[in-house]
Structure 1
């Protein structure tokens, strides 16, 4: 029913940012991901969607190379996931803000810039990119949750990554800030950055070019918002996702 599935081996090439082949991950005694195979094109926004606990974070950790995998391969920008050549080319923003609350916004950005080997100008540019120029000297501990999320994004942007992995970056944010962040993501994609963005809010799927639908550690579909609506006959993406779940359960 969908445009592709884990039964179809994806093809790699110069336009592929991430190639995942037959990925299997276990955490403790539980299977977290089962036989995931997918290719993510460069310069696109791919949404990783599914309910909490479906394996979104585990898949993202696998892509950035911080997750031990049981079997399968992950190639990122032509290199094995987590390998040394990728350290400056992959940005990762976790669900919780990974910043120092006792440092100012600019100090956090400059610290991460020094880790990546970039200069102070890259820190200034990253702060401007996330709209925090007016708060550059504020202590991060005094910022709102949404502002701390943007500081984390700025710290990931200082290296000007080719791949940006964002784990539910809009959770808990007000609607206006969510719109601002998605506009920033689209600007990055237009500039050639590949984005992998997870969410459990289906209305955010319309912001993505490609969609990966996960449930219980399995890839149900690799599709697009338009194709998902067409395949399911549903105008609502939430209803379309539920339709995919119902079909997969019946199968």
Structure 2
């Protein structure tokens, strides 16, 4: 179920037993005229995917959810929604973990880590039609299990918090998203969103590698600029990066 805050803010929920992917279900709902603020949750997926079209294993016991937002912002601001949703994922997981929540960190641009191991990822997709931008946000949270064939370690919430459940995570995530989205939607709202994200950032101040189309780039993770781009202090000077895959240590082989 959705949380009380989410329901009061007009968010709604559809639950399916199994789908190809909740992202595609959300896109189908948009095609049918869905007005948005709609969460679609599946108990399992048989065609789940992550960034760059990567397959996302989706066995029962984990949270697979997509949120459809219609006309949430100007197109140029849409990438900032990744920080909003990342903070909501952190809020919800921290609520479940309690005393060990300090081990949760946000990895740019779209992962939630627990002890430097991935426990959640998100995917943003835009859809422009009728002169407005619609955004579908996909969230996958490892609760009862995690994949083993990932570029860096993965974990699941029950390994640390046996009481964690899909239902509790969804309730917490929906409420946290409603709160974080409301803050971000205010004039100047990315300022507090950016500050909150940096407080929870993984590897800030550390040496990282960003895999870019032209090849890997290594430097010190210096922060985020005013629009949310990653600031990297490389040997050649400060670089500002819109998108890429971040790795700690040497980048994995392609």
- Common fold by TM > 0.5: no
TM-score for the superposition, normalised by structure 2: 0.25
| Higher relative contact order, structure no. (Cα contacts within 8 Å, ≥ 6 residues apart) | 1
- Higher helix fraction (1 or 2): 1
